[in-house]
Amino acid sequence: MEKARVKVSPKFQVVIPKAIRKELKIEPGQELVVFTLDGALRLLPRRSVKELRGAAKGMRWKEDFRDNADRL
């Protein structure tokens, strides 16, 4: 499932191909979060706290998820 190939420059920079930039709506100056997962490099657009509001809505929490040991 290869979409594009990029080459790492001597300064360790890569160019995000135009098709990928359009698909992910990446704009000049936009910050991306970079991390590795399962041996792969991942780039994700940084999201504001306002965008994350309600992201966990509808999730069910179990009582054993909470740490009640420190309560008096």
Task: Provide block-wise average pLDDT over 10 residues at a time, the chain (72 residues).
Answer: 89 94 91 93 82 73 63 64
**Whole-number pLDDT of residue 64:** 59
**Whole-number pLDDT of residue 24:** 87
**Whole-number pLDDT of residue 7:** 96
Predicted TM-score (pTM) of the model is 0.59
C-alpha of 33 from chain center: 6
**Whole-number pLDDT of residue 53:** 74
Alpha-carbon distance of 70 to 55, in angstroms, equals: 28
C-alpha of 22 from chain center: 17
Q: Give the domain ranges of the chain.
A: 24-48
